[in-house]
Amino acid sequence: MMRALDGKRVLLCIGGGIAAYKCPELVRRLAAEGADVQVAMTRAAREFVSPLVLQTLSHHPVALELLDAREDAAIGHIRIADEADVVLVAPATANLISRLASGMADDIVAAALLVARCPVVVAPSMNTNMLGHPAVARNLAMLASFGYRIVESDSGELACGYEGAGRLPDAEALVAEVRAALSPKDFSGKRILVSAGPTREALDPVRYLTNRSSGRMGYAVAAAAWRRGADVTLVSGPTSLATPRGVTRVDVTSAKEMYDAMLAHAPDSNAVVMVAAVADYRPREAAPEKIKKQNGRPATLELAENDDILAALGRLPGKRIVVGFAAETQNMVENARAKLERKRVHLIVGNDVTRTGAGFETETNAAVLVDAGGQIDTGLVSKDRLADMILDRVATLPLA
């Protein structure tokens, strides 16, 4: 199965801050996504993390010196910059940011950044007062004017004892930033609304009706849309998943709450991707107290039909792309095409949830993308990959 960064070369430039201790885990996570990682370090960075550890994890000698006899023939700082598909500067200290903004080339890291012509991601990390100083703000603005992607630091307790902004984001967040830097920005300036996860329909104060949706597919679509430049709102049923980086999340529980949230946000959206597995039915009345056993007597549950969110989205006035999902156990393509016409939407993603490795509670999925122009069989792919395939198709669809 193809990984997110397979075949990509990442140059990780480490500055001399305490947050450098996070870099071994960062290298490991980048490698786990398929990246070939080359590490370069400032002299100060070596005081915080061992080059030997980074060499072991990256499987490459760490670039340490601008003038290195071993690299003279290849001109090391040029070679590592030319070979990179993306550069990640983490942690970017105030001193390193200043030197990069000034165009200095006084060490291996600064010199490589002057050579690099690939996307550059800069992750500042420092004391919160230092981060807020006008000089640092000016230097970061200068780097942004170069086209560098500036990562917003996290807030919390800092190693220096201060509380506030300045923490280096964790490895997962930085990997997401690297992926975003390498992604096309074909949805830049667009607003995309995504739903995800199951809904829960209360039976009594302690029980509810739900389904097996984990939310992974919807979260993957939201993350992919953000990587591709969209302003993303994710309406999520109950899940254990972390909010994708850069995404605005709206939590709901019931189908009624999801209906209200989706219809509230859809009018301002350029595209709506309805991934959530919404309950078709709810108990007609939720019991005010816990329902007790009936001493062997059969229990009867009367159900009422929930509002059809996808159909309501298809009827909304205005122009936007609307995508629905069809989780099927038989006649998948026929049912998906019928749903496309019945709900008056632009694209239906049909998937056979009985297929091994597809559907609920898996890391992979297999789908058929059905629209008025035909259909595309995706085969079994990761949910991340399927999310991009769906968005690729959305980008080609004309507005109704």
Listed residue (210, 278, 264, 279) closest to 233, CA to CA:
264
Whether 207 and 161 map to the same domain: the answer is: no
Both tokens of 278, joined, read: 């919404």
Whether 272 and 364 map to the same domain: the answer is: yes
Both tokens of 50, joined, read: 């061992």
Whether 132 and 232 map to the same domain: the answer is: no
Residue 242 lies in a domain: yes
Residue 327 lies in a domain: yes
Of the candidates 182, 214, 240, which is a domain's last residue? 182
CATH number at residue 387: 3.40.50.10300
Helix, strand, coil percentages (3-state) for the chain, rounded to 5, are 35, 25, 40
- By residue count, the chain amounts to 400
Whether 173 and 290 map to the same domain: the answer is: no
Whether 171 and 221 map to the same domain: the answer is: no
Query: Which parts of the chain register pLDDT below 70?
Result: 1, 68-76, 399-400
What is the pTM assigned to this prediction? 0.92
- Phi-psi category of 374—alpha, beta or left, where left has phi over 0 and alpha has psi -120 to 50? left
First to last CA, the chain: 36
CATH number at residue 153: 3.40.50.1950
CA dihedral 352, 357, 363, 368 (to 10 degrees): -30
Residue 264 lies in a domain: yes
- Structural domain for 255, as ranges: 191-396
Whether 121 and 64 map to the same domain: the answer is: yes
Listed residue (89, 244, 258, 264) closest to 168, CA to CA:
89
Count of domains forming the chain: 2
The radius of gyration of the chain's CA atoms, rounded to the nearest angstrom, is 25
Of the candidates 130, 158, 182, which is a domain's last residue? 182
Of the candidates 182, 209, 226, which is a domain's last residue? 182
- Give the whole-angstrom CA distance, residue 198 versus residue 207: 15
Residues with catalytic annotation? Answer: 160
Whether 166 and 198 map to the same domain: the answer is: no
Whether 160 and 196 map to the same domain: the answer is: no
Block residue for tokens 């004892």? 161
Residue 222 lies in a domain: yes
The pLDDT of residue 400: 44
